[in-house]
Structure 1
Amino acid sequence: MKKHNFSAGPCILPQEVLKKAAEAVVNFNGIDLSLIEISHRSKEFVDVMENARSLVKELLNLPEGYSVLFLQGGASLEFLMAAYNLMKINGKAGYMDTGAWSSKAIKEAKQFGEVEVFASSKDKTFNYIPKNYTVPTDVDYVHITSNNTIYGTQFKEFPKTDSLLVCDMSSDIFSRQLDFSKFDLIYAGAQKNMGPAGTTLVVVKDEILGKTGRTIPAMLDYQVHISKDSMFNTPPVFPVYVSMLTLQWLKDLGGIPAIEKINEEKAALLYAEIDRNPLFNGFAAKEDRSLMNVTFTLANDDHKEIFDKLWNAAGVSGIKGHRSVGGYRASIYNAMPKESIQVLVDVMQQLEKEI
């Protein structure tokens, strides 16, 4: 039976990417060696890294003056690194608290200076994006999380600030058209929408670095990683390679403009059923609904057993909601085919017929 993988991460990847990655593990580019046993300083892998970085710049339409890094430690380490590299001694940063991951980022930043949380949606279990907030002007940078995987909300408009703008895009990077040059630092764990767990994409404007007055440990210093072309230490070769394949797949598809159209169609299909079907309730505020993570609950929990049996029987996988929200979460990242979403919609309609 075909499985329909709605997992929030590690996420679904394109089938052609998985096949090429599997081949490379056995015999990479016909050299009779595995990708995961060749030197990261060999020409073969250096070409992979350079191609991956080049694809990022092309797909995001980045101007000159940005560096692209593939690092380790996930977005969780970037919570710390962003503050370490951007907050000045005795400095201050502004954060929007829109979910579990932004809350963790705030906690890490407090180790380096003052943090002003100038907007939060915690009062309603993070089911909306704050509006009508005032962005502080006396901060070294402003930090947001563009898409909230657990709660299913997504920024449609971004804060306007004269300070540096930092964004955790882990779960919606490469999914929609944005002016990425408005951001001074972007980071994203690969395992949500780009590749397997193990590498983290960092896009940073070169001119903003080296101005904190801090002595930063080498492993945590963006400038060190830039100077070594993401190879200050041994990079995670397999996740970088699979990310490169995924980025090439996206480029061949037509890039971000093409995938955005597909993503909007997929999300519209599922949200329409949630709104139509009286047995389900959407969790996130309608105006802030995510195109990547669709969160919903049953109107009556007595129907849980039969609904769970139905979607399991249909080959649906990974839609149980996060423990902090409950209910269900369908993660519909770039590689999720529309056909799989239709299967889930059919199951929801089948429940309606059987109740």
Structure 2
Amino acid sequence: MITPQPTSKPAIPNFSSGPCAKRPGYDITQLDLSTLGRSHRSKLGKDALHKVITDTAEILGLPEGYRVGIVPASDTGAMEMILWSMLGPRAVDVCYWESFGQGWYGDIIKQLKLEKVNKISADYGQLPDLSQVNPENDVVFTWNGTTSGVKVKNGDFISDQRQGLTICDATSAVFAMEMPWEKLDVTTFSWQKVLGGEGGHGIIILSPRAVERLESYTPSWPLPKIFRLTAGGKLIEGIFTGATINTPSMLCVADYQDALNWIKQIGGVQASITKSLDNLSVLEAFVADNSWINFLAENEQIRSNTSVCLSVELSDAQIKTFINLLAEQQVAYDIGAYKDAPSGLRIWCGSTVEKSDLQALLPWLAWAYQEVTA
């Protein structure tokens, strides 16, 4: 049966997995721009930074004693800062199942040149055997594989009696998935993902155990200023109260505050999680009805509800045509799989994407498939 070209289009066709769609109703003219042109070291600037830090902790429901800090260079900068500052005193288990986790493993063995490193890995679409994680070791892992569409089911693989630290890259998970904070010693993310913020800044969340490591351990290698979290053997508390390591964009900070305010307005982080899961259900129903498209993560228990990765029964050239057709029709932008991932689609389903836009997209997916296979 011939599928006619749909007439209805998504109101917002932005389905990129980073930077992600702005929140519904976003209006840049509504941002509080009072900090622009002012020093981030001024009382006004520090107060604005302190507020996003405290709001982040409050909305996420972080345990007492956990610290939130704003650092340079997005989630990548946050993770590199932690790897270079904290690894070394214990063996390290590195769990990965996609390109970014594999990158952390490469940095640990090739740049830091640590010798006691255990690789626990799986192919795209799969999750490795996390029972191999040794509670005596530090463990580095991604909560949600942004480029594979695979997330950990929960934190049960992390021992409550662990001796090592858990270091979690959660950039496409925080604000969209349940996070067992008591099991996470270091968590990094960037507000450009689930909250649709602007790029360039990372967030680090430290548990008291992580602070203890920072204050009791000095790496054998030199640390550039931009990576230093301690001075004189003590945590630089200012980083976690509003005195950033380098100059932040106060426009980006105002944008982040707007996103945090929106999360509060819709009912908090649980509402954000529910909205993302509802978005995933739209694609799940479509995949169930169409044999030519499948989830890269076949196991629904480990399937991401943010960076949804899909395989399509098309050649690489046909997939490029498919993606270009949708962009030309202005119904879906930036939905190609990550460059290192298997060829296919990647559609962001975080809470800043409206369910109605995903529903409007589905007929266009069927139409585009018909067009390239005709």
Normalising by structure 2, we get a TM-score of 0.83
Cα offset, 1:147, TM superposition: 0.8
**Out of 125, 128, 132, which is 1:130 matched to?**
128
Q: Distance in 2 between matches of 1:92 and 1:202?
A: 22
Q: Pick 1 or 2: higher relative contact order, CA cutoff 8 A, min separation 6.
A: 2
Match of 1:6 in 2: 15
Cα offset, 1:76, TM superposition: 2.2
Q: Distance in 1 between matches of 2:82 and 2:40?
A: 26
Cα offset, 1:311, TM superposition: 6.0
Closer/same/farther in 2, CA of residues 310 and 213 from structure 1, 3 Å limit: closer
Cα offset, 1:132, TM superposition: 5.5
**Out of 199, 202, 207, which is 1:200 matched to?**
202
Cα offset, 1:54, TM superposition: 0.8
Q: Distance in 2 between matches of 1:84 and 1:295?
A: 31
Match of 1:81 in 2: 81
Match of 2:350 in 1: 333
Greater mean deviation of Cα atoms: 239-248 or 166-175? 239-248
Letter in structure 2 aligned against 1:145: T
Whether 1:295 aligns to 2:309 is yes
CA RMSD in angstroms comes to 2.5
Closer/same/farther in 2, CA of residues 335 and 306 from structure 1, 3 Å limit: closer
Match of 1:70 in 2: 70
Q: Distance in 1 between matches of 2:76 and 2:229?
A: 15
Normalising by structure 1, we get a TM-score of 0.87
Whether 1:101 aligns to 2:100 is yes
Q: Deviations over 1:197-240 (max 9, x none)?
A: 01101111233422223375443122354334342332232222
Cα offset, 1:308, TM superposition: 4.5
Whether 1:59 aligns to 2:59 is yes
Closer/same/farther in 2, CA of residues 334 and 223 from structure 1, 3 Å limit: farther
Q: Distance in 2 between matches of 1:94 and 1:212?
A: 19
Q: Distance in 1 between matches of 2:25 and 2:45?
A: 20
Closer/same/farther in 2, CA of residues 223 and 254 from structure 1, 3 Å limit: farther
**Out of 353, 361, 372, which is 1:344 matched to?**
361
CA contact (8 A) 2:16 2:333 kept: yes
Match of 1:319 in 2: 335
Whether 1:41 aligns to 2:44 is no
Structure 1 gaps of 5+ residues are 30-34
Structure 2 gaps of 5+ residues are 1-8
Match of 2:170 in 1: 169
Q: Distance in 2 between matches of 1:353 and 1:216?
A: 55
Greater mean deviation of Cα atoms: 105-114 or 144-153? 105-114
CA contact (8 A) 1:118 1:135 kept: no
Whether 1:248 aligns to 2:265 is no
Cα offset, 1:44, TM superposition: 2.4
